[in-house]
Structure 1
Amino acid sequence: MNKKVILSCAVTGAGETTEKSPHVPVTPKEIADSAIKAAKAGATIAHIHVRDPETGKLSHDVNLYQETVERIREADTDVIINITSGGGGDWVPSEDDPTRGGAGTDIQTPEERHEPVGKLLPEMCTLDCGSVNFGNMLYVSPTDWLRKQAKLVQESGVKPELECFDTGQIRFANQLMQEGLIDGDPLFQFCLGIPWGAAADAETLSYMKSRIPENGRWAAFGIGRMQMPIVAESVLQGGNVRVGLEDNLYLKKGQLATNEQLVDKALGIVQSLGSDIMSPAEARDLLNLRNPNGKEG
């Protein structure tokens, strides 16, 4: 069991959730404020997407990322910033011509996906380690694109969080290490319960953690009602955890949550199991992260 747990909060995500809950933050100020509240509640890391302030939908605007990151960095409350670099991977086949992307398709190059990370130099960023069926959509991340993206992240000095939605993606993440594209001890994030990726259960989690290198560290999250069960299972199996409105909108059946409420609930689960939450300073040291001022930790 993990005695000191890194707790991430994915504060907004990119999904069509803003019409389902008034608590999903949209503007840079709202996203930053929610990240700060999550940190005050105990989150070690804030995982950041940005949204179009007018529509509430996914945005890739670097200026929105910059405003969000600056607001968090200027706050008195410390939290590690983890920017997504997985945007622009949505492929929805056109009904009229399945060789072309239809409504909802949003594809970026590796260089475009990396732009907010390369400009803002957060302490961490995600690196989605392969393509996957995502409901009725395909999330596209070809291996040669990922090699380019991994190299860009490596050159920036930002710590990649290797997001794995299925077991084959762990194999490719290990391949990136063999090719020298991941520095230091790798950090994996097991993304469980996405239709139709890896299942959100103890057996799948156990198998996935068995496939990472001995020097690897890992975290896991489950979506929807499996968010808190996977928190408990991750701690028991020796890993770290993630909660937040990107993955789940409810505190309990029928009650919409805020990010800080989800963090507080996860904190209670972690402590009830005899563990505690790692501070941002402790996590920076453990993961050998660059400091918020851009220097190595």
Structure 2
Amino acid sequence: MRAPRDTVFITCAVTGNLTTPDQTPHLPITPEQIADAALEAAEAGAAVAHIHVRDPQTGKPSMALEYYRDVVERIRAKDSQLILNLTTGPGGRFAPSEDDPSVAGPGTTLLVPERRVEHVAALKPDICTLDLNTMNSGNEVVINTPGNVRRMARVINEAGVKPEIELFDSGDVALMQDLLADGTLAPPVLCSFVMGVRYGFQASPETVLYARNLLPADAQFTAVGIGRAAFRSVAFSFLTGGHVRVGLEDSVYLDRGVLAPSNAALVEKARRIVEDLGGQIANAREAREIIGLPIRISGGSAPRPVAHQLTAKGRIS
């Protein structure tokens, strides 16, 4: 059994794809708001900012490269070390029409895999997510076929970006093992268990222990709780040897019935939980060492020599 780590890093997921402005007035919408939220979360103790973008006019999720670029440039102008983790989740939803389920209905966002990672190829963040789930999600289905995942991973690897593998159920772990076996992914893998989404992993200590024990011994993981499971999952994850994540993507509440005033407030509470349990919070430089990312040169965009180098086959080693 893995013992709790002495030092863990906090990821803050600042806006997400499914949280709506109707749920909280504090949700960052514009590139400036998203960047500011990430920087405030870093000041509170987050070492990683997980970033989605939104249409500044409507507040709805977007995949526009210009918004991603704006957010990244704003953050990098003020913080050279914060680890940037861009999502690649959007573009994978299918909603069958009522009259013909083989035809896409409203809510479908399916795109070719390369389109879903074009911002990663262009901006080369430190990390990007790679979802392995094919599952029911509300009235829609999220589709990530093994072939499409491999196509996305190829672009990610060629960009020299570290994938964070998002796992929503045990079958996703089995797919990850296959991707490691065929060289699509290179160890040590960085992954997260997303718990509390209906029809996927449910949030409990037993779930975290079960999922963790399916991983390779050298894997780094975070157990993420959605909604009311957010803060209990901070404790679950830390106590089982994982890192932690909070943010308005995952939960809008700081306490029962109390809306979080900011992402930074969620990070501050997660930090207190870890420290009260005897742990320490890694800063961004320390988190880079834990994950195996290069240390960026302060005041510039060029990193120090990379911990992972691309092989001749385009895989990270």
What's the TM-score bracket when you normalise by the shorter of the two chains? Answer: over 0.9
CA distance in 2, matches of 1:294, 1:149: 25
Equivalent position to 1:270, from 268, 274, 277 = 274
Q: State, as a whole percentage, how many aligned pairs show the same letter.
A: 43
- Is 1:42 matched up with 2:37? no
- Is 1:107 matched up with 2:98? no
Map of 1:246 onto structure 2: 249
Map of 2:60 onto structure 1: 57
Map of 1:283 onto structure 2: 287
- Is 1:175 matched up with 2:178? yes
| Contact 1:130/1:143 (8 A) holds in 2 | no
CA shift for structure 1 position 97: 2.1
CA shift for structure 1 position 253: 1.8
Root mean square deviation, CA, Å: 1.2
Map of 1:204 onto structure 2: 207
CA shift for structure 1 position 294: 5.1
CA distance in 1, matches of 2:109, 2:220: 31
For residues 162-189 of structure 1, the C-alpha deviation after alignment (integer angstroms, 9 at most, x for no partner) is 1000000011011111111112310110
- Is 1:88 matched up with 2:85? no
- Residues 1:261 and 1:39: Cα distance change in structure 2 (over 3 Å): same
- Residues 1:251 and 1:16: Cα distance change in structure 2 (over 3 Å): closer
Gaps of 5+ in 1: none
CA distance in 1, matches of 2:294, 2:130: 17
For residues 120-172 of structure 1, the C-alpha deviation after alignment (integer angstroms, 9 at most, x for no partner) is 00000000013111122211111100011111111111010010000000110
CA distance in 2, matches of 1:139, 1:98: 15
Residues 102-181 of structure 1: pairs in structure 2 closer than 5 A: 102-181=105-184
CA distance in 1, matches of 2:153, 2:80: 30
Map of 1:213 onto structure 2: 216
SS in 1 for 2:164: strand
SS in 1 for 2:150: helix
Map of 1:259 onto structure 2: 263
CA distance in 2, matches of 1:212, 1:294: 33
- Is 1:15 matched up with 2:18? yes
| Contact 1:93/1:101 (8 A) holds in 2 | yes
- Is 1:71 matched up with 2:66? no
CA distance in 2, matches of 1:240, 1:162: 14
TM superposition score normalised by structure 1: 0.97
| Contact 1:192/1:200 (8 A) holds in 2 | yes
CA distance in 2, matches of 1:78, 1:157: 17
CA shift for structure 1 position 102: 1.3
Mean Cα displacement is larger for which, 54-63 or 91-100? 91-100
CA shift for structure 1 position 290: 3.9
4+ residue stretches of structure 1 with deviation over 2 A?
Answer: 290-295
TM superposition score normalised by structure 2: 0.91
| Contact 1:164/1:189 (8 A) holds in 2 | yes
CA shift for structure 1 position 78: 3.8
| Contact 1:128/1:164 (8 A) holds in 2 | yes
| Contact 1:157/1:290 (8 A) holds in 2 | no
CA shift for structure 1 position 86: 1.3
Residue type at the aligned position of 2:76: R
For residues 72-124 of structure 1, the C-alpha deviation after alignment (integer angstroms, 9 at most, x for no partner) is 11114741100001111111121232222211111111100110111000000
SS in 1 for 2:206: helix
Mean Cα displacement is larger for which, 99-108 or 71-80? 71-80
CA distance in 1, matches of 2:74, 2:23: 26
- Is 1:2 matched up with 2:5? yes
CA distance in 2, matches of 1:147, 1:261: 37
CA distance in 2, matches of 1:120, 1:42: 24
- Residues 1:76 and 1:163: Cα distance change in structure 2 (over 3 Å): closer
CA distance in 1, matches of 2:226, 2:92: 20
- Residues 1:164 and 1:294: Cα distance change in structure 2 (over 3 Å): farther
| Contact 2:224/2:234 (8 A) holds in 1 | yes
SS in 2 for 1:106: coil
| Contact 1:9/1:43 (8 A) holds in 2 | yes
| Contact 2:12/2:246 (8 A) holds in 1 | yes
- Residues 1:66 and 1:131: Cα distance change in structure 2 (over 3 Å): same
